[in-house]
Amino acid sequence: MSVPKRARSPSVDEFDGLDADDLIRAVQESETPKKARVNETAPTPAPYTQPYSGTAEDPLLLERTTMSKAWFERLEPAMRQESFKKLKAFLDAEKRAGKTIYPPPHLIHSWSRTTPLEQVKVVIVGQDPYHQPGQACGHCFSVPKGKAVPASLQNIYKELKAEFPDFVPPRHGYVGIMN
């Protein structure tokens, strides 16, 4: 199996400081193959200023404004569960206590905008979130280009190489837009 060389994918670092419209435009105008681009039905993500728990009128405001429509609709029943509400309340309390939370709110669900639901075959959930500034970008095992490739991702690359000998591991750790 030959893995074709892809055009350069945008790095999360390139999006820092962009407003929501510029963020969407930057991703859509990237040279990324069409099928890997941001889900066209995704709502416009914006830097999030409301509490993680949303508002009384819309407790899922963060998710509704930062997740793709398809993923939001699929996950909404789970997000309305008490355990999810408790998690969001915990994040609010930590934020009010002055704690830093990674990734930033507008990147928490970025995976949903680069991973079309209908193309998902496997879901791998990471258990150890990244906790240093500039590392967490909303994708398990992924870090922005320019950051050291995490050991867990190096292991995934090794397994891919063992299974698919023609696989050439990227020299970076950003897996947000990969085929």
Q: Report how far residue 112's alpha carbon sits from residue 170's, in angstroms, rounded to the nearest whole number.
A: 22
139 Cβ contact partners less than 8 Å away, ≥ 6 residues apart: 110, 111, 114, 174, 175, 176
d(CA 100, CA 82) in angstroms, rounded, equals 24
Cβ burial of 115 (10 Å; 0-12, 13-18, 19+) is buried
Residue 128 annotated as catalytic:
yes
Cα–Cα distance, 7 to 32 (Å, whole number): 6
CA dist 145 and 13 (Å) reads: 8
Degrees to nearest 5, angle at CA 51 with 45 and 52:
70
Among residues 16, 58, 128, 166, which one is catalytic? Answer: 128
What does DSSP assign to residue 56?
Answer: S
DSSP SS3 for 5: coil
User: Looking at the annotation, which residues are catalytic?
Assistant: 128
